[in-house]
Amino acid sequence: MLAHNGIIILLTLLLALIATIIPMPLSVDDFRPDWVMVVIAYWCLACPSRVNIVTAWVVGFILDVLLGSVLGVHAASLAISVYIIADNFQKIRNFSIWQQAIIIGLVTVLYHLLVFWIQRFLTDAVFLPSYLYPALTTAILWPWAFLLLRKIRRHFKIK
Amino acid sequence: MVFMSPIFKHGPSPQHRLLLVLFCSGLLIFFDHHIGSFETSRGYLQSLVSPLQYLATTPKRVMTWAGENLSSRNKLIRENQEHKIKELLLQEQLMKLETLEQENNRLRLLLSSPLRKDTRKMVAEVISVDSDPYTHQIVINRGANDGVYEGQPVIDDKGIVGQIQNVGTISSRVILITDVTHAVPVRISRNGIRLVASGTGQIDRLIHNFVPHSTDIRVGDKLVTSGLGGKYPEGYPISEVLHVNQDETRAFSEIYSQPVAQIDRLRYLLLLWSNDENVSSEKVSVENTSTPTSGGSE
């Protein structure tokens, strides 16, 4: 994974992790986009031979440690969501950027529902509609993140 | 895309990978949640990720630093005066308290019950608040290097905030009283009735389960820690009763209370050491604390 400027992939993932835990005012915190999801989805579409479900699982595990949730909750949810993208990467690649944004949004909804279901199973978490707001912002973020990450990938010739 | 051939995939298929990682997640969840066998390794993991947490809070710390350093001279003078007046008032109360404490100790000696000793305290600062809506936790800038231990009580200037859950080297994680998995033994300060305050996952609400209808409890009653669980010292304020519904059709009465600590705007916290562990009653050790500014939601 580290060959051919793979360190750049790692750096983008680290930045996404930092963006996930950066403190924000309570009013906009509910709308925090899923940076990790966006970055992993991009690399899964662009370099499926280097970033795959196992990468997503490891990043999800780090997320578990950072967020203090039960170990494995975010890891499993992220792995399942990324599996959908990784299994259909050839189809998703051919969609237009807006269609991709909708797909990423739906996958993010699934991701948050998975996290909620596991939490509900472990502790008596109560569902609030605000748990799904990030899907909206993630879908809006996708086109911009896609263009930026593509620029990075082409600049560093990551294959 | 020269190196990558999408037709011939390398390594195990995505299905196999998914099965593998789901199996690993299942094991992790089981061992972490049901058996709790990651208590010590979570400390190491916490130390590993604390650079990320410090990095993530850097922009905010820079802003706070700038805000503190760029405040006007007039404002500082005014604040200084306010603090002086406040200190005077507090000193007066302290004098009263000291005589009371001496008197109390003498009376306790007469009754031959154990004396209450001053405990060791340390100021800590919140460095990050997690964004996961399912757990209520914060990370503070004190760790094993400062002698922090698991289960240590954490308070702010109003009352109990929570207890230490995982200890890293330079940072540790605090579980708040409002977390769904957290409960504190409390008593009503008015009449000494014992209750348990459980978190609800809502930042402004605690619930008291299994309270009989005959219990004498009213809206506005102050609840303080009873010290029975052995985790929290006795007598610290925790919440105020908000809602009492003694509906006879239910098995127990429905009681909610509101934490007195401002859980949503924590910045400076106080770590308490339990009495039996540190008999050498050190006074408050204030290290590297900049001027505390009030307010500011974290």
Q: For B102-116, what is the mean pLDDT?
A: 78
What residue type is A45 in one-letter code?
A: L
In a shared domain, residues B171 and B241:
yes
Please say whether the dihedral angle defined by the alpha carbons of residues B189, B190, B195 and B201, taken in this order, is positive or negative: negative
CATH number at residue B214: 2.40.10.340
Q: For B198-219, what is the mean pLDDT?
A: 90
Contact A107, A85 (CB under 8 A): yes
Last residue of a domain, one of B81, B113, B145: B113
Dist CA A145 CA A7 (whole Å): 18
Helices (H), B133-191: none
Q: Which residue has tokens 């390398």?
A: B10
Does the structure show a pLDDT above 90 at A106? yes
Partner B contacted by A10 (CB < 8 A): no
Contact A12, A53 (CB under 8 A): no
Residue B223 belongs to a domain:
yes
Q: Which residue of B has its CA nearest to A115?
A: B134
Residue B175 belongs to a domain:
yes
Tell me whether residues A72 and B28 touch, CB distance under 8 A: yes
Partner B contacted by A133 (CB < 8 A): no
pLDDT value of position B260: 92
Does the structure show a pLDDT above 50 at B17? yes
How many A/B residue pairs have CB atoms within 8 Å?
Answer: 134
What residue type is A72 in one-letter code?
A: G
Q: Which residue has tokens 């307010």?
A: B295
B133 closest CB neighbour out of A83, A90, A131:
A131
In a shared domain, residues B199 and B234:
yes
Provide, as residue numbers in chain A, all residues whose Cβ is less than 8 Å from the Cβ of B33: 70, 122
In a shared domain, residues B90 and B135:
no
pLDDT in tens, B45-79: 888 888 888 888 888 888 888 888 887 788 889 99
pLDDT in tens, B167-207: 988 889 999 999 988 999 999 999 999 999 999 888 889 99
Tell me whether residues B10 and A49 touch, CB distance under 8 A: yes
Tell me whether residues B29 and A122 touch, CB distance under 8 A: yes
In a shared domain, residues B81 and B166:
no
Q: Which of B144-158, B201-215, B282-296 has the lowest mean pLDDT?
A: B282-296
Does the structure show a pLDDT above 60 at B231? yes
* Six-digit token string for A6: 């793979």
Please identify among residues 78-117 of chain A the ones whose CB lies closer than 8 Å to any CB of chain B. 79-80, 83, 86-87, 90, 115-116
Q: What is the total count of domains within chain B?
A: 2
In a shared domain, residues B78 and B100:
yes
* Six-digit token string for B200: 């609800």
Tell me whether residues A159 and B137 touch, CB distance under 8 A: no
In a shared domain, residues B102 and B216:
no
A18 closest CB neighbour out of B4, B18, B52:
B52
Give residues with Cβ within 8 angstroms of B226, minimum separation 6: B185, B186, B187, B194, B234
Provide, as residue numbers in chain B, all residues whose Cβ is less than 8 Å from the Cβ of A80: 18, 22
Tell me whether residues A126 and B52 touch, CB distance under 8 A: no
pLDDT band at A126 (very low <50, low <70, confident <90, very high): confident
pLDDT value of position A2: 63
B187: β partners: B194, B224
Domain boundaries, given as residue ranges, for chain A? 6-22+32-155
DSSP assignment, residue B129?
Answer: E
> Which of the two residues, A120 and B133, has the higher pLDDT score?
A120
pTM reported for the whole predicted model: 0.75
In a shared domain, residues B131 and B159:
yes
pLDDT band at B287 (very low <50, low <70, confident <90, very high): very low
pLDDT value of position B178: 92
Does the structure show a pLDDT above 60 at B5? no
Provide, as residue numbers in chain B, all residues whose Cβ is less than 8 Å from the Cβ of A93: none
CA A144 vs. chain centroid, Å, equals 15
**Domain span including residue B155:** 121-277
Tell me whether residues B17 and A80 touch, CB distance under 8 A: no
β strands within chain B, DSSP E = 121-129, 137-140, 153-155, 160-167, 172-176, 183-188, 194-199, 206-211, 222-225, 237-245, 253-259, 268-272
pLDDT value of position B8: 55
CA B159 vs. chain centroid, Å, equals 10
Q: Which of A134-138, B24-28, B60-64 has the lowest mean pLDDT?
A: B60-64
* Residue of B171, B130, B36 whose CA lies nearest to A71: B36
pLDDT value of position B195: 92
> Which of the two residues, B123 and A125, has the higher pLDDT score?
B123
Element (H, E) at B77: helix B73-110
3-state DSSP assignment of residue B291: coil
Mean pLDDT of chain B: 83
Residue B20 belongs to a domain:
no
Provide, as residue numbers in chain A, all residues whose Cβ is less than 8 Å from the Cβ of B181: 123
In a shared domain, residues B96 and B240:
no
pLDDT band at B131 (very low <50, low <70, confident <90, very high): low
Residue B106 belongs to a domain:
yes
Q: Which residue has tokens 């608040």?
A: B129
Q: For B267-284, what is the mean pLDDT?
A: 64
pLDDT band at A149 (very low <50, low <70, confident <90, very high): very high
In a shared domain, residues B202 and B268:
yes
